[in-house]
Structure formats: structure tokens, C-alpha cells
Amino acid sequence: MSPKKVTIIGSGNWGSAIARIVGSTTKRFPDEFDPEVRMWVFEEIVNGEKLSEVINTRHENVKYLPGKILPTNVVAVTDLVQSCEGSNVLVFVVPHQFVKGICEKLVGKVPADTQAISLIKGLSMEKLGGLKLISEEIKDILKIEVSVLMGANLAPEVANDNFCEATIGCKRKAQDGAFLKKLFHTENFRINVVEDAHTVELCGALKNVVACAAGFTDGLGYGDNTKAAVIRLGLMEMRKFVDVYYSGSNLQTFFESCGIADLITTCYGGRNRKVCEAFVKSGKTLEEVEKELLNGQSAQGPPTAKEVYLMNKKSGKDDQFPVFTAVHLICAGEMKPAQLVDCLRNHPEHL
């Protein structure tokens, strides 16, 4: 079998950090992978230069991952269709609001045996108010098999080669698991593969909502005990949400990197936490603080909280998820941040 060609769709903070890993593994296994990795770049001008040209000449994503060199076999391509032409593996890693538009541009251009893996932490809304996983959205539009990779993976730390773990959720574990693991597993990025892909993906999406709650309590001046309560109650809501909408999960999955580990790292070191803390402290809007603090990066918690809220409201279950509901209402300006603590105090877990 000829070596498989890999395309990374996305070049933000995580997209660029993962490009450093995929660039190295593809070179290490030339029998399995074509060493040229194309990375689709949403073109923009940075300090008077095209970002794609800077990446291809200086091998650095100066906007989204400054100070870290990308392997020279990672090639920036600005035409989406061209970036995927002839590829056997597509790695999706863009903020979740852009997935649908990207997939629609690829319809009819991606062969049915293409493997995809989504690193995207978020959810999609169906027209009738129902939820869809991002992997399901990609699969429905492109008619290809989609696995997921989630974990306690703050991109700057991964790019620094600090040790961490991640979880691949792969429904066809025997068929795809070992191959996908080979693409991501390194000395400092240790992968476990599980079959419970829905739970892996939902953990990745929902932890961003809990991180917002952690940011709010940080902004209000509460300490680590309160944050631990947010993490615990948030985890209980994550588990319940999976049970209600995607029953049949394996409890063990919550103990993988995608579960409790990601929840901890994100509630201490993530962008969602940071933005929500600044929102409370500054009195500015979420959009303003995101713009000021993230330099074009995206906090996925607030839109995910809205998607979760609409789903729960539709099924009359919003009261069963007080932390998720409060995060959305606070983001939407319909609840004061200080009221979050009442939601924790009166949580159904205490009844």
C-alpha cells in the first residue's frame, strides 16, 4: 500500500501545535505516511505579510503559535480544495463555527475511503434545535468515517513538548485505531484509543462550558475550593448530558485524558477560563475581552453553552443542568455572574 497523504484543515493555535507533531510522525514512518503534510491556512495579512507565505518561508505561524518552529515538511496551502486533493487522512482542527462551511466546500472532492479525525471541541446545532456532534456533521456532509482526538492539551504546552496525554475515540478501533495512533503518538504526547467515541467528543465540547463557570468564579474572587466544586458538579452534568442524549457511554471514558484530565487543565489554564474571568472583572462584553486577550483565537465555551442550553430547553431539562444553564444565561447577559454560586449551592447533586 502506498504511503497515506495527510492534510490538516486549520492552522490556529491547536492546528499549528498539532502540525508540529504530525510533521514529525509522518517523517518517522515513511512506509505509512507521505512526509509532505499540507496545512490549510485561512489567509490573512499579519504585519504586512501573507500568513501562508510566512509559514512556508520562516516555518512559523507568527500569529497563532509565535516562537515555535513548524517542521519544513508542513506546507501551508490557502486553497481548501487543493489542500485536500489526493489526501487519505483529513485532520479537522478549526473553531467549530467554521466546520459546516468548510465541509460544504469539499462536497464531491473527498473519496469515500478518506479517513477523518476531528480535534474540534464544540457542538453543532441542527435546524430543528437538536444537537449534532461535529464528527456527525462532517460525516453527514462528506460521507466519510470520522474519529476524534480530545485530551488535556493546552496548545502552547504541547508545542513546548511538555509531557501530556490524549484520547482517540474511534468507532472502528480495530480497523483505524492503530493507524491513527501512529500519526499522533510521540514521547511527549501519549495516546490511548477507545471505542466510546461519542463520549470522548462530548467531554471535549462540554468541558469548555464548565471552564467558563470556573472563569466566572475566579473573576468573582472565589478560590480553589469553589473551583473544585465547579469541576465536580460540572463533571456530574457532563456525565448526565451524555447519558440523556447519547446513552450507552462507558464510565471509564471519563477517566481518560479527554475526561477529568481535560476538565482540570481547562479550568486552570484555558482560554475560556481566562476570557470569562476577565468578563467578570472588567465589565466589558465577552466579545470585547475575547478580542483583547486572544488575538484572533476563539473561546468555544460561550457558543457551546448556548447550543447545550437550547437543546436542554427544547427537551425541558434545563433545570437538571444548573451549571450549564447558568453559563449560557450569564454569557447572554440574562443572569448576573454572582448568581452562579446560588446555582452551585442549590445543585440537584446536593438534594
Ligand X SMILES: O=P(O)(O)OC[C@H](O)CO
Report the half-sphere exposure of 236 (CA within 13 A, side-chain side): 14
Q: Is 266 in the site for ligand X (CB under 6 A)?
A: yes
Residue 124's φ and ψ, nearest 5 degrees, are: -120, 150
Q: Where are the beta strands (DSSP E) in the chain?
A: 4-9, 33-40, 45-46, 49-50, 74-77, 89-92, 115-118, 123-125, 131-133, 145-150, 164-169, 189-194
Spatial distance between the Cα atoms of 286 and 267, rounded to a whole number of angstroms: 17
Query: Is 63 marked active-site?
Result: no
Q: Is residue 300 within the footprint of ligand NAD (CB under 6 A)?
A: yes
**Min separation Cβ 35 and ligand X, Å:** 28
**Residues of this chain, 1-40, that bind ligand NAD according to CB under 6 A:** 10-15
Which C-beta is closer to ligand X: that of 54 or that of 214? 214
Kindly report the backbone phi and psi dihedral angles of residue 50, in degrees, each rounded to the nearest multiple of 5, phi listed first: -70, 130
Q: Which of 20, 181, 239, 271 binds ligand X (CB under 6 A)?
A: 271
Q: Does 123 bind ligand X (CB under 6 A)?
A: no
Q: Which of 63, 68, 181, 207 is flagged as catalytic? A: 207
Contact string (CB under 6 A) for ligand X, positions 131-170, x = contact: ---------------------xxx----------------
Q: Is 154 in the site for ligand NAD (CB under 6 A)?
A: yes
266 binds, among ligand NAD, ligand X, none (CB under 5 to 8 A by kind): ligand X
User: Which among 94, 103, 121 is positioned nearest to 305, based on CA atoms?
Assistant: 121
Site string for ligand X, 219-258 (x = CB under 6 A): ----------------------------------------
C-beta separation of 134 from 118 below 8 A: yes
Task: Report residue 59 as a C-alpha cell.
Answer: 516555518
Residue 53 CA to its chain's centroid (Å): 26
> Does residue 268 bind ligand NAD (CB under 6 A)?
no
Site for ligand X, rule CB under 6 A = 121, 152-154, 208, 211, 262, 265-266, 270-272, 300
- Which residues participate in catalysis according to the annotation? 207
